[in-house]
Amino acid sequence: QIQFVESGGGLVQPGGSLRLSCATSESMFKLDTTGWYRQAPGNQRELVATSSTSGGTIYYADFVKGRFTIARDNARNTLYLQMNSLKPEDTAVYYCNVQPPQYDYWGQGTQVSVSS
């Protein structure tokens, strides 16, 4: 069974920071590129960042470049997203999944709210 479990979200002021974590199974994490996605109310889910299994190939969406950093710890089967300089438009539920995403792998996500 494949399961992604996201955590670390919360409510922060603009300019603040959060560090998200995503834990999953060893089999999937060590074989596939994994990424962070987000979905705001009424919007489609969008790709935020991805990391290859080795961490050597990184992708960032334009709207987070210079602010977010993706990292992974293969020994702990955990993916991270360090989010700095948060903006209100970053408010969304953040999910992790493989790239390209598999429908059955979507979890509950973690809520990130940025508001003054």
Mean pLDDT of successive 10-residue stretches along the chain, which has 116 residues? 89 98 83 93 96 91 97 92 98 96 92 97
Distance CA 102, CA 111 (A): 21
> What pLDDT score was predicted for residue 26?
75
Which pLDDT score, from 0 to 100, does residue 1 have? Answer: 67
Give all strands (DSSP E) within 9-109, no chain letters: 10-12, 18-23, 34-39, 46-51, 58-60, 68-73, 78-83, 92-98
- The neighbour count for residue 58, using CB atoms within 10 Å, is 14
pLDDT of 57: 93
